[in-house]
Structure 1
Amino acid sequence: MREVRRRPRGEALAAYGFIAPNVALLGLFVLVPLVGAFVVSLQRTDGFGDGEFVGLANYGRLVTDPVFWRALATTAGFTVVVTAASMALGLAMAVLLNSVLPARGLFRSVLILPMAVSGVATALIGVLVFDQNNGILDKLLGAVGLPEVNWQSEPVPAFATIVLVTIWWRTGFNMLIYLAGLQGIGPDLHEAARLDGANGWQRFRNVTLPLLGPSSYFLVVLNVIYSFQVFDIVFVLTGGGPQGATNVLVTYAYDTGFVTRDQGYAAAIGMVLLLLAVVFAVVQWRASRTRDLVE
């Protein structure tokens, strides 16, 4: 009996030993900076010298700051469009590449290739395409007799550029996750539905989509949190302009913290962004858990 009791205790100690380095790194590089950012958000400081403690004054400023609310609305719109479009395209590409298609390996490699490129490099590729002075797209439009578009000077085209480049960047990742989910679905389920008289669309809607629920949940959470935190593509492509039309929460926090040097207020914006991401993840988790219990 003593030997039986010692064994679970030893296994538990071994498990704690294996996860200890990860926990230590998580605490050092995630939790400590978060606590530091929260402390800074309670101060009025330019990053040099000791800050002045102001309590929740920085958070109070957010309520009456029109630039913050506009950046929040832009972030929300960007998140909805990018998440929906990139997931829909990723699902469509996964279904296509999961079928009998010539050169499937080549198409998969081409779609996954943007995942190997950093956000800054992706944005620089977007500049080559959408630059209103020397961009490839405007030259193609002019060559076929269509009017050129002021991609960086007008709000709607500028917003469209960051959306299109981000969708191109994220679609391959979404496709990869959906493709893994599709390959985990047994062919016997589709065969049974086919024997029951279900056509292709009915099998996709009633068999494939429900079984891809875990993949969709994972991708929604990941895409939304990424979209909340988007910075590099916006910063390189538009810099938040024109006239703040593409200014998202992270670019606003960057400008506030490193241009105007109001780092306490910038830290407060970051804390609000973190809170929004956590609340969304918790709501999604509870909704998914409730749905699984009902089913």
Structure 2
Amino acid sequence: MTTTTRPHPTEAGKHTGAEPRRRTTVKSPYPYWFYLPAALVYGTLFLVPTFASFYFSLTRWTLFDHEFIGLDNFRQFFDEPALVKGFTNTIVYAVVTSGLKVVLGLLLAVLLTSRIPARGYLRSVVFFPVLVSTIGVGITFTVLMNPEHGLINQSLGVLGVDGPGWLTDPKWALLSVALVDVWKGVGLATLIYIAGIVSIPQEYFEAASVDGASAFGRFRHIVLPLARPATVTVIILSLIGGLRSFDLIWAMTRGGPGFTSDVIASVIYKQYQAGFYGLSTAGNVVLFLVVTAVIVPLFWFLNRKEVEQ
């Protein structure tokens, strides 16, 4: 019996002078078709309305007709006396709500990741307001904050404290809505911080304990710097929500008393109610540009700081 042996490809290449064949992989275009449904939805629901709003902000339009008038809508919008107040209120509201959500969310997350009894139940309690309808929360707290018959002022009266007109006093109206917003949204901030804290390797905490670091020292030198991505996320999301706030304010105060709790979004809605569709569209463009002008540089700055560290 005779046996034949095939030469190894490399050996054959050496003897014949021919190079071994290289495998060519052809990339199938099929997976890219999976992007198409998402691209269609994104383009239909976001890109087309965005570009259309930029055009219609330059027109005086109704459902059946439109007339190009240039920048007149923007001039008229900025001449509105309520706009300056609404713009100031929007910035104050966004800063107050986002600041409180960052501080309270971080503190609650530290508490709810420590070894305390009923930790899972307390996490559910903190997160529960996020699941409740914003309009429902607004109506409920409108009743609770009633200056005469509300449960909050009645409870303060039992303690001998004369409660203010939470939603009727111009000094308290915007702040009252902001506090309700924090109560409703702090659960999401807490959840983001919990995810950031539990992702920190336990070896850092063990090494700090061995070195004799106190609880505050571990918080300052481990939790704060390593939970920075969560902080950036909470700041960005809270600021976007605060700058675009409308539903809770409208449900609780309608922008009142007077214009004291009006924000840009409520001013836009009042213009729309009055039938000034082109003017309200210009206001939406202004709001879009304000949010973009605040969020994009802040996002770049915070992420740049994170990379440097």
Q: Same fold (TM over 0.5)?
A: yes
1:115 equivalent among 103, 119, 130: 130
Alignment of 1:283 onto 2:297:
yes
Alignment of 1:5 onto 2:25:
yes
| Paired amino acid for 2:33 | G
1:86 equivalent among 91, 101, 109: 101
1:269 equivalent among 270, 280, 283: 283
Describe the SS at the equivalent of 2:25: helix
2:73 is matched with: 58
Q: CA deviation at 1:64?
A: 3.4
| Paired amino acid for 2:25 | R
- Range moving further from structure 2, 116-125 or 168-177: 116-125
Q: CA deviation at 1:3?
A: 6.3
1:41 equivalent among 57, 66, 78: 57
Q: CA deviation at 1:20?
A: 1.4
TM-score, normalized by length of structure 1? 0.92
Q: CA deviation at 1:152?
A: 2.6
TM-score, normalized by length of structure 2? 0.88
Describe the SS at the equivalent of 1:155: coil
Alignment of 1:206 onto 2:226:
no
Alignment of 1:30 onto 2:46:
yes
Q: CA deviation at 1:75?
A: 0.5
Q: Name whichever structure is richer in helix by fraction.
A: 1
State how far apart, in whole Å, the 2-side matches of 1:65 and 1:72 are.
Answer: 11
User: CA 1:3/1:252 → structure 2, altered by over 3 Å: closer, same or farther?
Assistant: farther
Q: CA deviation at 1:60?
A: 2.5
| Paired amino acid for 1:270 | N
1:20 is matched with: 36
The one-character-per-residue Cα deviations of 1:222-260 (angstroms, maximum 9, x if unpaired) are 1111111111110110000001111011111000112x2
CA RMSD across the alignment: 1.8
State how far apart, in whole Å, the 1-side matches of 2:97 and 2:161 are.
Answer: 27
User: CA 1:3/1:257 → structure 2, altered by over 3 Å: closer, same or farther?
Assistant: farther
The one-character-per-residue Cα deviations of 1:137-172 (angstroms, maximum 9, x if unpaired) are 122223333324222321122112201110000110
1:294 is matched with: 308
| Paired amino acid for 2:190 | M
State how far apart, in whole Å, the 2-side matches of 1:219 and 1:158 are.
Answer: 25
Describe the SS at the equivalent of 2:257: coil
Describe the SS at the equivalent of 1:5: coil
- Range moving further from structure 2, 108-117 or 148-157: 148-157
- Range moving further from structure 2, 131-140 or 117-126: 131-140
Q: CA deviation at 1:198?
A: 3.0
Q: CA deviation at 1:108?
A: 0.6
Alignment of 1:144 onto 2:159:
yes
| Paired amino acid for 2:243 | F
Give structure 1 regions of 4+ aligned residues with deviation exceeding 4 angstroms: none
2:247 is matched with: 232
**Runs of 5+ unmatched residues, structure 1:** none
The one-character-per-residue Cα deviations of 1:110-140 (angstroms, maximum 9, x if unpaired) are 1111111121111122123112343211222
2:228·2:306 contact (CA, 8 Å) conserved in 1? no
**Runs of 5+ unmatched residues, structure 2:** 1-20
Aligned residues: 289
Q: CA deviation at 1:179?
A: 0.4
State how far apart, in whole Å, the 2-side matches of 1:122 and 1:268 are.
Answer: 30
Q: CA deviation at 1:292?
A: 3.5
Alignment of 1:244 onto 2:259:
yes
State how far apart, in whole Å, the 2-side matches of 1:81 and 1:162 are.
Answer: 11
